[in-house]
Chain A
Amino acid sequence: MGSRGAAAAAALSRASRIRSKLQSALEATVLEVDDVSNQHAGHAAVRGSSDKETHFNVKIVSPKFEGQSLVKRHRIVYDLLADELQSGLHALSIVAKTPRETKPAQ
């Protein structure tokens, strides 16, 4: 990545990077990305860290989760966000459902 690219990536918030990575790979019908870092600021694991965007709640509804166990769905999300996890993303709370699962029970 050239310096201009790096600068552009840095300017983009982690929330929007997470959003675009998940949206394009999972063709999500519902995608909610909430930065909840302030709820975890100062806890033992992130104290002293300069990263501000460390904790997110992510809700994804995607047909790609069909037939996948919860562990597999979470692994898919973690794999897509591997770069973020390497660069200061600390924790995700993940709700991963298929479109079928979000339909209200009959």
Chain B
Amino acid sequence: MATSLSNMFLKGIANRSLSRPLNGLFYCTRYSTSVSNDSDTHDDFKPANKLEGSGISLTNVIEQDVKDNPVMIYMKGVPDSPQCGFSSLAVRVLKHYDVPISARNILEDVELKNAVKTFSNWPTFPQVFVKGEFIGGSDIVLNMHQTGELKEKLKDVTSKQ
């Protein structure tokens, strides 16, 4: 029971705070791991065991992110307002394709940032995942765009509604 509640909670984080395209525009909310400390969060919705900060729960969030979102980018800033040239470049390249782009802003959360680095064993951002596969950073995304590999990878990704 505790486990399933915890999973529901994690899924809740994953669903609520992703930047998802909405009518062609990016609808962005801020990601935060400090949910359970919010004064307006009811005790029932807190994780049964304190996992936040340990990296375990965040790894679950990342696994769910890359599984549920065919194009997932961990970046500095949000797609419509990148806070770094490399993140900006990666988003610009991905926007060439008619695919939904899901994003998390790692500047908002140092724990998430570290968890993503550990997850992919990659030290810098942005980090792009396509269909669960780690693709790389902006240099690689740009290169794959230029060689046509990215088009091939994204061809069976459902286009935006």
Q: Among A39, A45, A92, which residue has its beta carbon within 8 angstroms of that of B83?
A: A45
Asked if residues A44 and B76 are in contact (CB atoms below 8 Å), the reply is: yes
**Does B84 reach chain A (CB closer than 8 Å)?**
yes
Given A40-B84, A40-B85, A44-B107, verify A75-B140 contact (CB < 8 Å): no
Report the minimal beta-carbon distance from B73 to chain A, rounded to whole angstroms.
15
Query: Which residues from B are CB-within-8-Å of A74?
Result: 122, 136-137, 139-140
Report the minimal beta-carbon distance from B61 to chain A, rounded to whole angstroms.
21
Number of interface residues of A (CB under 8 A): 18
Asked if residues B107 and A45 are in contact (CB atoms below 8 Å), the reply is: yes
Inter-chain pairs besides A44-B107, A91-B124, A93-B86, 16 sampled, C-beta below 8 Å: A43-B83, A43-B84, A44-B77, A44-B83, A45-B84, A70-B139, A70-B140, A70-B144, A71-B135, A71-B140, A74-B122, A74-B139, A82-B123, A85-B123, A91-B84, A93-B139
Interface positions of B (Cβ within 8 A of A): 76-77, 83-86, 107, 121-124, 134-140, 143-144
Q: Among B85, B123, B140, B143, which residue has its beta carbon within 8 angstroms of that of A39?
A: B85
Given A39-B85, A40-B84, A44-B84, verify A70-B134 contact (CB < 8 Å): no
**Does A25 reach chain B (CB closer than 8 Å)?**
no
Interface positions of A (Cβ within 8 A of B): 39-40, 43-45, 70-71, 74-75, 78, 82, 85, 90-95
Q: Among B76, B86, B122, B135, which residue has its beta carbon within 8 angstroms of that of A78?
A: B122
Report the minimal beta-carbon distance from A35 to chain B, rounded to whole angstroms.
15
Say what secondary structure dominates the interface of chain A: mixed
Q: Among B77, B107, B122, B139, which residue has its beta carbon within 8 angstroms of that of A95?
A: B139
Nearest B residue to A58 by beta-carbon distance?
B139
The answer for the CA separation of A40 and B86 in the assembled complex, in Å, is: 10
The answer for the CA separation of A75 and B121 in the assembled complex, in Å, is: 9
Query: Which residues from A are CB-within-8-Å of B137?
Result: 74
Asked if residues B121 and A91 are in contact (CB atoms below 8 Å), the reply is: no
Report the minimal beta-carbon distance from A97 to chain B, rounded to whole angstroms.
10
Report the minimal beta-carbon distance from B89 to chain A, rounded to whole angstroms.
9
Query: Which residues from A are CB-within-8-Å of B138?
Result: 93
The answer for the CA separation of A17 and B76 in the assembled complex, in Å, is: 27
Asked if residues B85 and A45 are in contact (CB atoms below 8 Å), the reply is: no
Q: Among A75, A85, A94, which residue has its beta carbon within 8 angstroms of that of B139?
A: A94
Query: Which residues from B are CB-within-8-Å of A93?
Result: 86, 138-139
Query: Which residues from B are CB-within-8-Å of A39?
Result: 85
The answer for the CA separation of A64 and B65 in the assembled complex, in Å, is: 34
Given A40-B84, A44-B83, A94-B139, verify A78-B77 contact (CB < 8 Å): no
